[in-house]
Amino acid sequence: MKNHIRTLLLFGALTLSYTMSGQNMAAIRINEVQSVNTDGYIDDYGCRNGWIELFNTSYGTVDIGGCYLTDDPNDLTKYMIPKGDALTKIPPRQHVLFYADNLPDRGTFHISFDIPNAKQVIFVSNNGRTIIDEVTLPEGGIPANKSYGRVVDGEGSSEPTHFLQRSIRVAQKERAAGEDHGWAILDKVTPSTNNLTLDGDSKSTTMGKTDPYGVIMAIVAMSVVFVALILLYVVFKKIGNRAVIKSHLKEAASKGDVASVASVKGKESTSAEVFAAIAMAFHLYKEDNEIHDFENTILTIHKESKSYSPWSSKIYTLRETPQVRRNK
């Protein structure tokens, strides 16, 4: 029983690793292709050749060792990328370049076909059957010293299905819509770097073209300055008013001027009787010889002293004089 469980676990681990490997390879895209290179990028042998750029669209490192590159849909295993080369591990969101010089003996990145007469470029999984990505090159070829690539790295049409099925379906759709689905002839060749570069005119240059006389800049600058001054005026005005009110309140309270305190606080609706009571209280408080009542919670009983006790008074012990009733 235990052996069966171990076998199932091992099979599951192998299946999971194969699936994850396939998912990682599926993140690779053919990103840019150049067929005729006469004055551009030089390879590690000092030669100028066409090249194919692959791009890792994922955020994890992908090893493409054992995968295939080809220009023939009937021969998907035309060039196998050697295994065991550390440089075939493409870091996240990075590129790798293969030289299409038909000289595979020169190293890992020199493939066994060239591009000038190719009609498509195909990237195949390590099983030799699954097409991960492919691109149909423009009719009439790519102009010399220019490249055909994705406008934005890794973005654009890509369907990992059989090439013949995709080419018929997508080609018809592209011809009908007049679209290239994210691909274009790139005037600026960018091997091993981003196709979309941000090295155009600077903001100052663009502003100089838009506003050659500086009128817009002057209006904007003056508007910013005046708006800032108005805001500062409002803020300091509010702070100053509050400080003045506080100083008046403090001064009125120290003098005992209740009416002034009330007027400063804006309590004009308070009746005169209340002002009079408060003024009298302040007056009594200020008087030194004024007797004030102090209240507390202590109750004191004072004994009242009398010269006689009502209980021992003799008048309460005398009897009334008896009266004789006479019959008439």
Reported as a pLDDT band with limits 50, 70 and 90, residue 161 is very low
pTM for this predicted structure? 0.51
**Residue of 174 and 168 predicted with greater confidence:** 174
Q: What is the pLDDT of residues 237-277, one digit of tens each?
A: 889 888 887 887 777 677 666 556 566 555 445 566 777 78
Q: Interhelix angle for 258-265 vs 215-255, to 10°?
A: 160
- As a whole-number percent, the residues of the chain with pLDDT over 70 amount to 66
CA distance 109 to 25: 18
**Confidence at residue 156, expressed as pLDDT on a 0 to 100 scale:** 77
Read off the pLDDT of each residue in 121-128 and give the average, rounded to a whole number: 94
The Cα-based distances of 233 to 230, 238, 239, 245, 247 in angstroms read 5, 9, 10, 18, 21
Alpha helices by DSSP H, 111-214: 163-177, 203-210
Determine how many CB atoms are found less than 10 A away from the CB of residue 106: 14
Q: What is the pLDDT of residues 26-81, one digit of tens each?
A: 899 999 999 999 888 999 899 999 999 999 999 999 999 999 999 999 999 999 99
Side-chain half-sphere exposure of 13, counting CA atoms within 13 A: 6
H/E element, 133: strand 131-136
Lowest mean pLDDT among 49-63, 189-203, 211-225, 312-326: 312-326
Sheet of 120-124, strand order: 79-80, 68-70, 120-124, 131-136
Computed over every residue of the chain, the mean pLDDT equals 77
**Phi-psi category of residue 35: left, alpha or beta, with phi > 0 → left and psi -120 to 50 → alpha:** alpha
CA distance 294 to 292: 6
